[in-house]
Amino acid sequence: MINNTEAVKLLNSKRENSVIVATMNAGNARFGLPTVSSNDSLDVPLSGAMGKAGNFALGVALANPDRKVMCLDGDGSLLMNLGTMVTVANKAVKNMYHFVFDNGAYCVTGGQPVPGAGIVDWKAMGDAAGYAATFSFENLEDLVTGIDEVFAAEGPVFIRLAVDKEIENTPVQFRERPRRTMKDAIIELPKALS
């Protein structure tokens, strides 16, 4: 298993001028991208429509074909909208890297298992949907070794990361709030892109 913070730290270290759309645990205010980001003006902490991070990232990637776009998705959120994998693959966006943080659980609601936890073969689903390249990593050592190959591949690329469950059990109103919101990102990203 890969530690969530170590995963986002590694992806951030490889970002150069990439836009990163992060949702669920990958965008968590305590241990996700906001805690390690080196350029949060290019980060989109996607909230507000669970399951739509891949679609939003697709739009950004189509609008900015010369810039890499990473989508850091959750397994529960992607399961809500599996068709997005076909939508993304169908547009053959060469600059999009779609990661799914596979922890097998709805961590923000207390850790209930997602349907198909431990059964779904995400890499095979990426292949079947038509992504140009797919990868799956079970541990940090392999991810560190393989990440350059991931970003050398022409997109759309689908990458499954087996990550630890980091479960939120604190009542929602007492959880740490993200410093930047989706609305902030919507205002700031166009300036950062220009």
Q: Which residues bind another protein (CB under 8 A)?
A: 21, 44, 47-53, 55-64, 81, 83-84, 86-87, 90-91, 182-183, 185-186, 189-190, 193-194
Min separation Cβ 54 and another protein, Å: 8
Nearest approach in angstroms of CB 172 to another protein is 17
Rounded Cα distance between 71 and 30, Å, is: 19
Q: Looking at beta carbons only, is 83 or 110 nearer to another protein?
A: 83
C-beta of 137 vs 158, nearer to another protein: 158
8 A C-beta contact, residue 103 and residue 25: yes
Strands, E, within the chain: which ranges? 19-22, 43-45, 69-74, 96-102, 105-106, 112-113, 133-137, 157-162
Whose Cβ is closer to another protein: residue 90's or residue 145's?
90
Distance separating alpha carbons of residues 70 and 117, to the nearest angstrom: 24
CB of 148 to another protein, least distance (A): 26
User: Shortest distance, CB of residue 39 to another protein, whole angstroms?
Assistant: 16
| Comparison of 115 and 191: residue with beta carbon closer to another protein | 191
CB of 164 closer than 8 Å to CB of 6: no
Helix, strand or coil for residue 3? coil
